[in-house]
Amino acid sequence: MRWVIDAVAKVTIDAPVDGLEPIDSPVVNIGVLGELARACLLGRRVEFKHSQRNGATKDRRVDPLAMVNTVRRWYLVAFDVDTDDWQTYRVDRISDVAVSQMPIRSHTFPGPSVDEWVTRQLSAGWQQVTATVRVHATVDTVQRWVAPAWGAIEQETTRTTIVHAGAESYESIARWLLLLQADIEVLEPNELRTAFVHVAQQAARAAQPG
Whole-model pTM? 0.58
Which tens digits make up the pLDDT trace of 4-44? Answer: 455 555 555 655 555 445 445 677 888 899 899 999 999 99
**Predicted pLDDT at 9:** 52
Let me know the angle formed at the C-alpha of 187 by 120 and 165, rounded to the nearest 5 degrees: 20
Q: Do residues 153 and 139 make contact, with C-beta atoms less than 8 angstroms apart?
A: yes
8-state DSSP, 135? E
Q: Is the pLDDT reported for residue 176 higher than 80?
A: yes
- 189 preceded by a cis bond (ω within 30 of 0): yes
129-207, CATH topology level: Alpha-Beta Plaits (3.30.70)
Range(s) for CATH 3.30.70.250 in the chain? 129-207
- Looking at the chain, the domain(s) classified CATH 2.30.30 span 2-109
Share of residues in the chain with pLDDT > 70 (%): 83
Region 2-109: CATH code:
2.30.30
pLDDT in tens, 42-61: 999 999 999 987 778 999 99
d(CA 121, CA 104): 23
* 83-109 average pLDDT score: 94
